[in-house]
């Protein structure tokens, strides 16, 4: 069997990262090959350091190198709201919009009805514990509009309802700038369901 070359392994490792894909991996590998050796070393070292020191926030599971993440540790955040997301990547996307000032809860997993991944993957216990003192008034479910995301939102809603907290789901619909004629049926249905008074 032919041994895989170093360059091929680099492409292979990059391609295994979520959302990268073979073509982007080739582009990244090519860019890395052109770095001067010191920058390449720093890139490698920052991957090793991040992997070694980043852990889940003790309160919300966001990725951090401290006991509590920046958001949980920030006294200016609105502590009456918790937004539930599937992963730290979604959290960062929402933070980037600067429209939300509340707290977050990153789930440890999502339900997958097709792959028979059950509630044990989601573990709502830590989220429920955060609602115990009654300070949180609203939980906003920001899971993806996928089969997994919808099943997870439904499950979390059922878990939280008996606690008396208001549970809401973010609206889904048609991307801004898209001609409605070209929107897919499910997105259109979601957009109609999520309508609001004007
Ligand atoms: Zn946190």
Say how many Å lie between the CA of residue 96 and the centre of ligand 1.
Answer: 16
CATH number of the domain at 78, please.
3.40.1360.10
Residue 159 is assigned to a structural domain of this protein: yes
130 and 165 co-located in one domain:
yes
Provide the token pair at 17. Answer: 């990262």
Tell me whether residue 154 is exposed, middle or buried, using C-beta atoms within 10 angstroms of its C-beta: 0 to 12, 13 to 18, 19 or more: middle
Q: Give the pLDDT confidence of 60-75 residue by residue, as tens digits.
A: 999 999 999 999 999 9
Residues 165, 95 share a domain = yes
Residues 6+ apart with CB under 8 A from 79: 102, 103, 135, 136
Give the pair of three-digit tokens for residue 10. Answer: 């680099």
Number of structural domains (the chain) is 2
Looking at the DSSP assignment, which residues form a beta bridge with residue 85?
106
Q: For residue 175, is it within any domain?
A: no
Structural domain includes residue 41: yes
17 phi and psi angles, rounded to 5 deg = -70, 145
pTM for the whole thing? Answer: 0.77
Residues 44 and 126 in one domain: no
Average pLDDT over residues 4-30: 93
pLDDT, one tens digit per residue, over 116-174 is: 777 777 888 999 999 999 999 999 999 998 888 989 999 999 999 999 999 999 988 88
CA of 113 to the centre of ligand 1 (A): 28
Domain CATH for 43: 1.10.8.420
10 CA to middle of ligand 1, Å? 33
Q: Are 24 and 13 in contact (CB under 8 A)?
A: no
For residue 157, the CA-to-ligand 1 centroid distance in Å is 21
194 Cβ contact partners less than 8 Å away, ≥ 6 residues apart = 171, 172, 173
Q: Indicate whether 152 and 99 sit together in one domain.
A: yes
- Tokens linked to 7: 């360059």
Q: How far apart are the first and last CA of the chain?
A: 66
Query: Domain of 147?
Result: 74-169
Cα 68 to averaged position of ligand 1 atoms, centre (Å): 5
**Are both 38 and 80 inside the same structural domain?**
no
């Amino acid at each position: 069997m032919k041994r895989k070359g170093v360059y091929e392994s680099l492409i292979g490792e990059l391609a295994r990262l979520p959302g990268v894909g073979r073509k982007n991996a080739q582009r990244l590998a090519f860019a890395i090959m052109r770095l001067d050796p010191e920058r390449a070393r720093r890139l490698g070292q920052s991957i090793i350091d991040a992997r070694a020191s980043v852990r889940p926030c003790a309160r919300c599971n966001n990725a951090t190198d401290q006991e509590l993440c920046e958001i949980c540790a920030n006294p200016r955040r609105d502590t009456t709201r918790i937004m539930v997301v599937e992963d730290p990547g979604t959290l960062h996307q929402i933070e980037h919009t600067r429209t939300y000032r509340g707290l977050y809860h990153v789930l440890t997993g999502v339900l997958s009805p097709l792959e028979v991944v059950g509630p044990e993957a989601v573990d709502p216990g830590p989220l429920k514990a955060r609602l115990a003192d009654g300070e949180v008034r609203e939980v906003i479910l920001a899971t993806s509009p996928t089969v997994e995301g919808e099943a997870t939102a439904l499950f979390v809603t059922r878990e939280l309802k008996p606690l008396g907290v208001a549970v809401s789901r973010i609206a889904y619909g048609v991307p801004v700038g898209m001609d409605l004629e070209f929107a897919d049926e499910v997105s259109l249905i979601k957009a109609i369901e999520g309508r609001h008074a004007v």
